[in-house]
Amino acid sequence: MATITPLPVLFVNDLVVLPGMVVPIELDDASRAAIDTAANSSDGKLLVAPRLEDRYPSYGVVATIVQQGRLATGEPAAVVKAESRAKIGSGVPGAGTALWVETEEIENAEPEETVKTLASEYKALVVSTLQRRDAWQVIDTVNKVTDPSALADLAGYAPYLDSAQKRQLLETPDVSERLTQLIAWTKDHIAEVEVNDKIATDVREGMDKTQREFLLKQQLAAIRKELGEDEPDGADDYRTRVEAADLPEDVRKAALREVGKLERGSDQSPEAGWIRTWLDTVLDLPWTTRTEDSSDITAARGVLDADHHGLEDVKDRIVEYLAVRARRAQRGMEIVGGRGSGAVLALVGPPGVGKTSLGESVARSLGRKFVRVALGGVRDEAEIRGHRRTYVGALPGRIVRAISEAGSMNPVVLLDEIDKVGSDYRGDPAAALLEVLDPAQNHTFRDHYLEVDLDLSDVLFLATANVIDSIPQALLDRMEIVSLDGYTEDDKIAIARDFLLPRQLERAALTADEVELTDAALREIAADYTREPGVRQLERLLAKALRKATTKLAGDESEGKQVIDLDNLRDYLGRPRFTPEAHERTSVPGVATGLAVTGLGGDVLFIEANAVPGKAGLTMTGQLGDVMKESAQIALSYVRAHAEQLGITDPSVLDSSIHVHVPAGAVPKDGPSAGVTMVTALTSMATGRPVRSDVGMTGEVTLNGRVLPIGGLKQKLLAAQRADLTTVFVPKRNEPDLDDVPAEVLEVIDVRPMTDVAELVNLALEPAVKQEYAVA
């Protein structure tokens, strides 16, 4: 049965005393009373317990007073030796002024085999910890301890355990539990020490390496200086330039890594030249330079109007883009270096309508830098993404070079002739453009030469193309299509007067006082000397006329001012190249006037049909594609099936050999939009009724005579205007497209939407001639 002994209590602050420990204790009044009472009334024994704020302690240690005296500071103190763990009971009366309590000493039982195993493991951990501190004398002391409980209580001296952990050991009588807890705490401490030691070693080694490299660099610089080989663009110079440059963090790391290779390598190594070229390229890029967009919408529109006539769709789209950016900036919603802040506009239209020159005007209206990237004929994927640095003469791609040339990260980049990009064994450049032109991806564009992320999200990309058929669908899906379908005759005259003529006068060194070109002459040139959707040929003719005028002035200065008008236009330009021919071509039955779209814009297409004796069949000539051949088959089948409805009195003519020809034979043609024209030509041939010379038509036809919609309606109507056609039949479902057609074109052309080809044919053919017979 456990013995209960009353003892005076000594409470200590910030100290936990475990059995076996000898500790000095600074004495205050309460502590002195406990020491004195113990010395006088209990054979020098007392209970030492931690002072707790939240509760009364449950355990303490029975200790013996070893010595009393004073500290070096003069304060009274006592040295006590803890002997055994004791459980604290209730308070009891006793001698002196100290607090007396009942104490129940806890005796250590004979250790089991499990406890001995835990004690061995813990001892090994303690020795390992002490070895790191070179505490060999303490190791000898620990090795001499054989009692597991005493070994566990030695943790009272452990500096890596806090007061709460030591108090937990004091309040844990079971030796097995104490050892298990101590093993876990000691392992954690060893792991922490190992990590700290590794960090300290790495830091020390890094500092030693840096100091060594600095010393070696200084020595190398001194040697080079003595040899007269000091280079202003050495590795040190590049390191200084990289550290001084305002580079993104990942680019800076890559650049410093390359500088390190340059420093470690030989100047005679081929790699040194590659690294220098790469570093020059990286440092020349405007990583953090951006121009500020103009926020004046009215001024931007004024710039666009001053540079280009017409093109309202493009101007509206650019102004909308600028307006949205200005509003986002006002509300603090700018997206720089993030997804979706760029824009990609594709300007699609025939040559000479101003697609390329429009890009520069857009840049001026936005207040941005402008750079043009010509893609016509590019067949190498590396032209877009760059070459790997391992190749001789490697360079970054055209996109990176354009950014470097522009000197800012938000220029207007014009990708000219994107429909002329080809592909071969070196890859497909159009596939490389997929990432460049995707606003959701191009903020991390990676060039093969640079091998670092380049943010293209704030670049305004403009692409130009004549046709969209040759552009891959995936690439086309990333662009916003803006169509430039060509100019009307009035547009051409205004452009010639305001833009082309002043430019050509300057090139010919003439003034408006020396040469005058009347509006009538300009209209004649636009109508009969050119047949184009754009104004390029018109400008060439103006240049030719002014050269003639310059020659006349050079021959005789007394001639005075040269006035070019209708009556003398032939003297300057020769005879007209184009005259209306629809009346002549459709004067015989079997010829109909269709409308088509080519890469050069809209054009008039004549379809001829003829029947010759022979085996029933259909012959087609004129370099027709498969779709157009199918349209001819459908047209003939429809005419045969609906001969009576179409007014064909002799259907047998359709059972002979039918020949359909589409001039000009040297030009390839394809597409379904000539279906109604073929039906009209076949019906005209079969009835003998000519097609009206002022009529043009377009539309796909089905076997049951439905007129289906087509594309390029605006370009086709512009071509009809140039050919002096006054009536054009179009599919009913294309009626919404008339909103895009200039009003001046609709004023001179009677556009008739149709759904039934039989009705169209009846309106397109001349009325049948009634024969009169004399009565005998």
CATH of residue 70: 2.30.130.40
The confidence score (pLDDT) of residue 681 equals 92
The confidence score (pLDDT) of residue 582 equals 65
- Which residues share a beta bridge with 239? none
The confidence score (pLDDT) of residue 771 equals 41
Last residue within a domain, chosen from 554, 573, 592: 573
Residue scoring higher pLDDT (265 or 714): 714
Across 398-413, average pLDDT: 87
Is 80 within a domain?
yes
pLDDT in tens, 106-139: 877 777 888 888 888 888 888 888 887 777 777 8
Using the predicted structure, report yes or no on whether residue 342 has a pLDDT greater than 70: no
Is 212 within a domain?
no
> In angstroms, rounded to a whole number, what is the distance separating the alpha carbons of residues 36 and 44?
9
The confidence score (pLDDT) of residue 772 equals 42
Look-up of token digits 């997804």? 339
Per-residue pLDDT band for 340 (boundaries 50, 70, 90) equals very low
Residues 634 and 727 in one domain: yes
> In angstroms, rounded to a whole number, what is the distance separating the alpha carbons of residues 116 and 334?
70
Q: What letter does residue 441 receive in the DSSP assignment?
A: T
The confidence score (pLDDT) of residue 585 equals 75
Q: Confirm or deny that 159 is annotated as ligand binding.
A: no
The confidence score (pLDDT) of residue 335 equals 55
Per-residue pLDDT band for 292 (boundaries 50, 70, 90) equals confident
Per-residue pLDDT band for 706 (boundaries 50, 70, 90) equals very high
Is 120 an annotated catalytic residue? no
Is 650 within a domain?
yes
> In angstroms, rounded to a whole number, what is the distance separating the alpha carbons of residues 247 and 241?
11
Per-residue tokens: 593: 């006037």
Rg (CA), the chain: 49
Catalytic residue among 123, 166, 492, 716: 716
Share of the chain above pLDDT 70, in %: 94
Residues 97 and 175 in one domain: no
Which CATH number goes with the domain that contains 527? 1.10.8.60
Q: What letter does residue 58 receive in the DSSP assignment?
A: S
Per-residue pLDDT band for 343 (boundaries 50, 70, 90) equals low
Is 544 within a domain?
yes
Per-residue pLDDT band for 47 (boundaries 50, 70, 90) equals confident
Which CATH number goes with the domain that contains 591? 3.30.230.10
- Which residues share a beta bridge with 5? 103
The confidence score (pLDDT) of residue 232 equals 45
Using the predicted structure, report yes or no on whether residue 453 has a pLDDT greater than 80: yes
Is 198 within a domain?
no
Last residue within a domain, chosen from 63, 85, 105: 105
pLDDT in tens, 85-115: 888 888 888 777 788 888 888 877 777 888 8
The confidence score (pLDDT) of residue 774 equals 39
Share of the chain above pLDDT 90, in %: 6
Residues 642 and 701 in one domain: yes
pLDDT in tens, 754-772: 999 999 999 989 887 654 4
Which CATH number goes with the domain that contains 411? 3.40.50.300
Structural domains in the chain (count): 6
> In angstroms, rounded to a whole number, what is the distance separating the alpha carbons of residues 96 and 98?
6
Among the residue ranges 216-230, 380-394, 513-527, 706-720, the one predicted with the least confidence is: 216-230
Q: Confirm or deny that 351 is annotated as ligand binding.
A: yes
Cis amide prior to 664 (ω within 30 degrees): yes
**CB atoms < 10 A from the CB of 15, how many?**
16
Residue 276 belongs to what domain range? 231-284
Residue scoring higher pLDDT (575 or 221): 575
Per-residue tokens: 195: 């990590």
Give the angle 410-416-417 at the CA atoms, nearest 5°: 150
- 621 and 658 Cβ atoms separated by less than 8 Å: no
The confidence score (pLDDT) of residue 697 equals 92
Q: Confirm or deny that 696 is annotated as ligand binding.
A: no
The confidence score (pLDDT) of residue 695 equals 92
pLDDT in tens, 391-403: 877 888 888 888 8
3-state helix, strand, coil in the chain (%, to 5): 45, 20, 35
The confidence score (pLDDT) of residue 235 equals 57
Across 342-367, average pLDDT: 81
Per-residue tokens: 35: 């020491």
> In angstroms, rounded to a whole number, what is the distance separating the alpha carbons of residues 450 and 274?
12
Across 534-557, average pLDDT: 84
pLDDT in tens, 74-85: 888 888 898 888
Per-residue tokens: 525: 């040139």
Q: CB burial class (10 A; 0-12, 13-18, 19+) of residue 607?
A: buried
- Pairing assessment for the beta strands 695-697 and 700-701 based on DSSP bridges: unpaired
Last residue within a domain, chosen from 415, 450, 483: 483
Q: Confirm or deny that 353 is annotated as ligand binding.
A: yes
Residues 49 and 8 in one domain: yes
Residues 430 and 471 in one domain: yes
Is 693 within a domain?
yes
pTM greater than the 0.75 cutoff: no
Residues 311 and 366 in one domain: yes
Q: What is the mean pLDDT of the chain?
A: 82
Per-residue pLDDT band for 149 (boundaries 50, 70, 90) equals confident
Is 673 an annotated catalytic residue? yes
- 411 and 456 Cβ atoms separated by less than 8 Å: no
The confidence score (pLDDT) of residue 8 equals 87
Using the predicted structure, report yes or no on whether residue 339 has a pLDDT greater than 70: no
Is 211 within a domain?
no
- 236 and 221 Cβ atoms separated by less than 8 Å: yes
Residues 641 and 671 in one domain: yes
Per-residue pLDDT band for 580 (boundaries 50, 70, 90) equals low
pLDDT in tens, 600-619: 677 888 899 998 887 888 88
The confidence score (pLDDT) of residue 45 equals 85
Residues 156 and 93 in one domain: no
Residues 184 and 118 in one domain: yes
517: part of which helix (H) or strand (E)?
A: strand 515-517
Among the residue ranges 188-192, 340-344, 479-483, 752-756, the one predicted with the least confidence is: 340-344
- 9 and 80 Cβ atoms separated by less than 8 Å: no
Residues 569 and 649 in one domain: no
Residues 398 and 449 in one domain: yes
Q: Confirm or deny that 217 is annotated as ligand binding.
A: no
The confidence score (pLDDT) of residue 240 equals 82
Look-up of token digits 């030249």? 273
Residue scoring higher pLDDT (406 or 580): 406
Residues 670 and 760 in one domain: yes
Catalytic residue among 673, 684, 693, 714: 673
Residue scoring higher pLDDT (222 or 591): 591
Q: What letter does residue 268 receive in the DSSP assignment?
A: T
Is 775 within a domain?
no
